[in-house]
Amino acid sequence: MSIKHHIKVALIGSRESLAHLGRWPMTCAGACPCISVTLFDPVTLMPSGDAPSSREKFNPAGFEVIVDLRRSSEAYTALPGIEPEKLASGAGAQLIETFLTTLPEICQDWEIQKGIIDSATDAIVTINEDHIIIGYNHGAEKILGFSREEALGQDLSIIIPPPYKQEHKGYVRRYLATREPHVIGKHVRLSAQRKNGQTFPMSISFSLAEIGGKRYFTGIIRDITESTDMEAKLRQSERLAAVGSTVSHIVHEIKNPLMVIGGFARQLARAPNLDDKARDKMVMITEEVKRLECLMAEMKDFSHPPTIQPKAEQIAEVIQEVIYLMEDNLKEQGIAISQEHPESLPLIKFDRQQIKQVLLNLLKNAAEAMPQGGQLTVATRVVEPYLEIDVTDTGEGIAPEALDHIFNPYYTTKAKGSQRCQF
């Protein structure tokens, strides 16, 4: 609340008036900072009650308004030197007394309402009939980026993204002309614009107030960016679930004829009367069938992830088993493999087959990243409450543009696609 003018009021009242107004300075110091009231004893004309510490006798020059509520039965002291326009007595004084009696409650109610609005996390913005912002709370500052000083007095279009800036003015004019509400009293989803130009989804409810023959429109704005993102993820999950069901059906339908093709191809490859060219073709068919069978298995795992069966085991044993399986192939490719483990590792719960498959994939990918040979290292370390496994190689690394996609299912930069199976 900005204080444009401070008014000092001297109230010379009956003892009854002083009794029920005696705490006015304390109750209104924060609620009504634009008015200060000093109470004076009607007999001594000295400050009374919870008046300021000054005990100087009444001085008319120090006040803009002087209210004389003394009754004729009280000892009456003349008040010389008072400008007539400053003095209120009789019915006027009683009216001011009533006003001062009710003003603290009014001011405190206003402060409470103002505090509620300002402390709201949602943005609360009020405009007048000319589309000018006249109300703007702290929530609006945080959500929209404009400070109160920047927003008040500005056209509402500063928070409306194009191409709707002019359209909103038309909506206000149409309502003022027809009095037919379309969105007032409803919650709608629209877009708003922050000070930095960024647009974001919002949920807004509109209300209307008519004061003194003028209409004021208030919007309560909630930033729903997070909930919108969650809804999008939920829809994506639902689509993936539907895709998973379809994939499961396709895998089931393809699996049997694929097994037949692979079986016949292997039988024909062993036939004694085949020439070398035909035999090579049978081998190619067999290998491609194996690749498709692996792909079908991956698709099945993706649509129906296997049940995890954790068991307390020693991870070093699994690592050693995987290295044993890969060791000969790695040596043939000129790749040296080493291990780095602490002297003792705790037992941890994990699914042996799942971890084994993960390690096989990592070692295979590392080998493919070092076509000219290199060094591959598998290390473990305890980082409470976890155990970490590092697989590092001296290969060419991952291109920066691929880093954002490495956890996407079936994403690959390999010429032959996702090759997870060991042939």
DSSP 123-176: EEEEE-TTSBEEEE-HHHHHHH---HHHHTTSBGGGGSPTTSHHHHHHHHHHHH
Considering the domain boundaries, does residue 324 fall inside one? yes
Range 105-127 average pLDDT:
84
Range 254-280 average pLDDT:
85
Q: What is the CATH number of the domain that holds 134?
A: 3.30.450.20
Instruction: Write out the two tokens for 141.
Output: 């500052």
pLDDT digits (tens, 9 = 90+) for 316-356: 999 998 898 888 889 989 999 999 999 888 899 998 888 98
Query: Residue 197: which region, alpha, beta or left (left: phi > 0; alpha: psi -120 to 50)?
Result: left
**Which residue has tokens 């000892």?**
75
Q: Is the pLDDT of residue 227 over 50?
A: yes
Is the domain of 388 the same as that of 288? no
**Whole-number Å distance between alpha carbons of 31 and 170:** 39
Is the domain of 74 the same as that of 153? no
Considering the domain boundaries, does residue 297 fall inside one? yes
Q: Which residues contact 215 (CB under 8 A, 6 or more apart)?
A: 128, 129, 176, 208, 209
**Packed helices 225-269 and 276-303: angle between N→C axes, nearest 10 degrees:** 150
pLDDT value of residue 305: 62
pLDDT value of residue 275: 87
Considering the domain boundaries, does residue 85 fall inside one? yes
Considering the domain boundaries, does residue 13 fall inside one? yes
| Domain of residue 374, residue span | 311-405
Q: Is the dihedral of CA 240, 246, 250, 252 positive or negative?
A: positive
Q: Is the pLDDT of residue 228 over 70?
A: yes
Is the domain of 44 the same as that of 129? no
pLDDT digits (tens, 9 = 90+) for 393-402: 998 888 888 8
Considering the domain boundaries, does residue 228 fall inside one? no
Yes or no: say if 76 and 70 are a contact pair by the CB < 8 Å rule: yes
Range 299-323 average pLDDT:
81
Residue spans of beta strands (DSSP E) within 162-298: 187-193, 199-211, 214-223
Is the domain of 214 the same as that of 134? yes
